[in-house]
């Protein structure tokens, strides 16, 4: 399959205004300038790598805004309201909520997520069931479960004793830095990934960088729970790879466009981030962190792609397409989503059918 379109190529998203992509057996085989004869005409679109959500709790989808107005401890701490809500809810509704969030993510161009799945082995099984039939890629980070049953562990600061001696090639991710003192405790356990790092000190940022630890930030969640704003500029400047997550669905929609816009705009109050750096937190960076062969458009990478309608009423007249994607674009501007070379969302096709 050959498609003619605008394309954001490579790790720095170099804009090819008039270019083509050749896709074969799920992989990008060629990307270059100029329209190719016989290619499908997608000139109305700009093709970008599909988005990756590096931190979710999809299990929470059954109770949106149920912790509104609460601080981090009251909402999601050991005795937090979240756990009371789970106790009262039936399994069927929790699974249905997760499934709806998966559908929402795919429809808005997110084709990968890394989830902290609570509730032991049973909870992991529920998420696997919810994902059945959807071509979404995922990493499930469980707790109170054998590490070999999952892609890794997703822990809170109060269950670090679950980290086994031998981790094999599994990931260990820890929520830390929403409250003081959490960072130093987490760092003692040498995690692969720290989620948040919001209150990390200068010394802790240095330790993260020297330890080669990956960081996932969730700025909308931090703001809602009154935690602060993550030091993304300082982390990147220290050489840390930073990815972006939307955190609990109780608090946020798993909508990375909103998360990118929030991070971009608030960053101007304390160490500005560029649109390219922001887009990398949802593509290039998580591809490295979670070892995925997608995340940017280059020969040999998986064809996991999003086609943005650059002529929608929202996107038209953009003078800087990457800045517009980061600060303006939304799910309604996503025309097509491709996973492994297959179009799994095609809104243009649906519109064409309706107008026939
Ligand atoms: Zn979380």
Distance (Å) from CA 246 to ligand 1 centroid: 8
Asked whether the beta carbons of 136 and 106 are under 8 A apart, the reply is: yes
* Domain at 23, CATH number: 2.30.40.10
Q: Are 191 and 172 a contacting pair, CB within 8 Å?
A: yes
Cα of 310 to ligand 1 centre, how many Å? Answer: 33
Whether residues 139 and 190 share a domain: the answer is: yes
Distance from residue 302's CA to the centre of ligand 1 (Å): 28
- The answer to whether 173 and 194 have CB atoms below 8 angstroms apart is yes
Q: How confident is the model at residue 349 (pLDDT cuts 50, 70, 90)?
A: confident
Same domain, 44 and 81: no
Task: Report pLDDT digits (tens) over 272-331.
Answer: 999 999 999 999 999 999 999 999 999 999 999 999 999 999 999 999 999 999 999 999
pLDDT tens-digit readout, 3-40: 999 999 999 999 999 999 999 999 999 999 999 999 99
Q: Sorting pLDDT into bands at 50, 70 and 90, what band is 199? A: very high
Strand partners, 32: 20
Alpha-carbon distances of 101 from 38, 50, 61, 63, 318, rounded to whole Å: 37, 16, 7, 12, 30
Compute, in angstroms, the gap from residue 37 CA to the centroid of ligand 1. 48
116: which residues sit within 8 A by CB, 6+ positions away?
Answer: 55, 56, 57, 141, 143, 154, 173, 175, 195
Choosing from 289, 310, 345, the residue where a domain stops is 289
The residue-averaged pLDDT of 334-340 equals: 98
User: pLDDT value at position 348?
Assistant: 81
Do 45 and 182 lie in one domain? The reply is no
Do 192 and 278 sit in the same domain of this protein? yes
**181-199: average pLDDT:** 97
Rounded distance from Cα 330 to ligand 1 centre (Å): 23
Cα-to-centroid distance, 248 and ligand 1 (Å): 6
User: Does residue 210 surpass a pLDDT of 80?
Assistant: yes
Distance 36 CA to ligand 1 centre (A): 45
Q: How far is the CA of 247 from the centre of ligand 1 (A)?
A: 5
For residue 55, report the distance from its CA to the centre of ligand 1, in Å: 6
CATH code: domain of residue 67: 3.20.20.140
Contact predicate 286/269, CB 8 Å: no
How confident is the model at residue 120, as a pLDDT?
95
Query: If you measure from the C-alpha of residue 110 to the centroid of ligand 1, how many angstroms do you get, rounded to a whole number?
Result: 18
Looking at the structure, tell me whether residues 225 and 339 fall in a common domain: no
* In contact, 302 and 340? CB cutoff 8 Å: yes
Report the separation in Å between the CA atom of 44 and the middle of ligand 1, taken as the mean of its atom positions: 37
For 63-151, list the strands marked E by DSSP: 110-117, 137-142
CB 46 within 8 Å of CB 11: no
Q: Are residues 238 and 127 in the same domain?
A: yes
Q: How far is the CA of 195 from the centre of ligand 1 (A)?
A: 7
Same domain, 214 and 318: no
Interatomic CA distance for residues 209 and 3, integer angstroms: 40
List Cβ<8 Å contacts ≥24 apart for 190-196: 192/152, 193/289, 195/55, 195/116, 195/154, 195/245, 196/222, 196/227, 196/230
* Residue 354: per-residue pLDDT: 55
pLDDT, mean of residues 180-193: 96
Ligand 1: distance of its center to the CA of 65 in Å?
15
Same domain, 263 and 348: no
Same domain, 127 and 224: yes
The answer to whether 191 and 157 are in contact (CB under 8 A) is: no
Query: What is the whole-number distance in angstroms between the Cα of residue 335 and the centre of ligand 1?
Result: 30
> What does the pLDDT look like over 306-322, one tens digit per residue?
999 999 999 999 999 99
Among 263, 289, 315, the domain-final residue is: 289
CB 175 within 8 A of CB 195: yes
- Are 88 and 227 in a shared domain? yes
State the distance from the centre of ligand 1 to the C-alpha of 344, rounded, in angstroms. 28
* Mean pLDDT taken over the chain: 96
Distance 159 CA to ligand 1 centre (A): 14
Expressed in angstroms and rounded, the spacing between residue 75 Cα and the centre of ligand 1 is: 11
Same domain, 82 and 207: yes
CA of 186 to the centre of ligand 1 (A): 14
Which of 246, 263, 289 is a domain's end point? Answer: 289
Of 64, 96, 67, 102, the C-alpha closest to 84 is 67
Range of the domain at 239: 51-289
Calculate how far, in angstroms, residue 201's C-alpha sits from the geometric centre of ligand 1: 20
Q: How many domains does the chain have?
A: 2
Give the model's pLDDT for residue 112: 98
315 CA distance to ligand 1 middle (Å):
32
- Stretch 226-241: mean pLDDT: 97
The confidence score (pLDDT) of residue 355 equals 53
Contact 28, 297 (CB under 8 A): yes
Given the structure tokens 């799994």, which residue do they identify?
344
Q: Which of 203, 167, 169, 168 is nearest to 187 (CA)?
A: 203
Shared-domain flag, residues 111 and 44: no
State in Å: Cα 217 to ligand 1 middle.
10
Q: How far apart are CA 299 and CA 29, in angstroms?
A: 5
> Alpha-carbon distance 47 to 51, whole Å?
12
3-state secondary structure 135-197: CCEEEEEECCCCHHHCCEEEECHHHHHHCCCCCCCCEEEEEECCCCCHHHHHHHCCCCEEEEC
């Amino acid at each position: 399959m050959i498609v003619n379109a605008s394309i954001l190529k490579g790790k720095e998203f170099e804009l090819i205004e008039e270019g083509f992509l050749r896709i074969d057996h799920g992989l990008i085989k060629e990307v270059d300038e100029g329209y190719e004869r016989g290619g499908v005409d997608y000139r109305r679109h700009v093709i970008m790598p599909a988005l990756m959500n590096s931190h979710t709790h999809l299990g929470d989808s059954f109770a949106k805004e149920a912790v509104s107005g609460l601080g981090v401890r009251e909402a999601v701490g050991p005795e937090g309201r979240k756990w009371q809500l789970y106790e009262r809810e039936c399994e069927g509704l929790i699974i249905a909520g997760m499934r709806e969030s998966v559908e929402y993510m795919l429809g808005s161009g997110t084709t990968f997520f890394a989830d902290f799945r609570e509730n032991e082995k049973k909870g992991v099984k529920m998420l696997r069931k919810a994902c059945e039939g959807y071509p979404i890629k995922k990493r499930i980070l469980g707790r109170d479960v054998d590490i070999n049953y999952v892609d890794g562990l997703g822990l809170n600061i109060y269950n670090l004793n679950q980290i086994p001696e031998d981790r094999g090639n599994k990931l260990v991710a820890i929520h830390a830095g929403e409250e003081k003192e959490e960072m130093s405790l987490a760092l003692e356990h040498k995690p692969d990934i720290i989620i948040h790092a919001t209150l990390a000190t200068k010394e802790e940022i240095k330790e993260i960088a020297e330890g080669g630890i990956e960081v996932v930030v969730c700025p909308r969640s931090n703001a809602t729970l009154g935690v602060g704003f993550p030091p993304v500029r300082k982390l990147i400047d220290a050489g840390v790879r930073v990815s972006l997550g939307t955190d609990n669905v109780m608090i946020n929609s798993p909508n990375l466009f909103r998360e990118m816009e929030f991070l971009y705009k608030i960053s101007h109050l304390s160490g500005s981030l560029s649109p390219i750096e922001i887009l990398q937190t949802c593509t290039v960076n998580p591809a490295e962190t979670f070892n995925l062969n997608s995340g940017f458009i280059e020969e040999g990478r998986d064809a996991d792609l999003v086609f943005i309608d650059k002529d929608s009423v929202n996107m038209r007249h953009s003078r800087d397409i990457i800045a517009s994607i980061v600060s303006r674009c939304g799910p309604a501007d996503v025309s097509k989503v491709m996973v492994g070379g297959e179009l799994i969302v095609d809104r243009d096709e649906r519109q064409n059918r309706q107008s026939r």
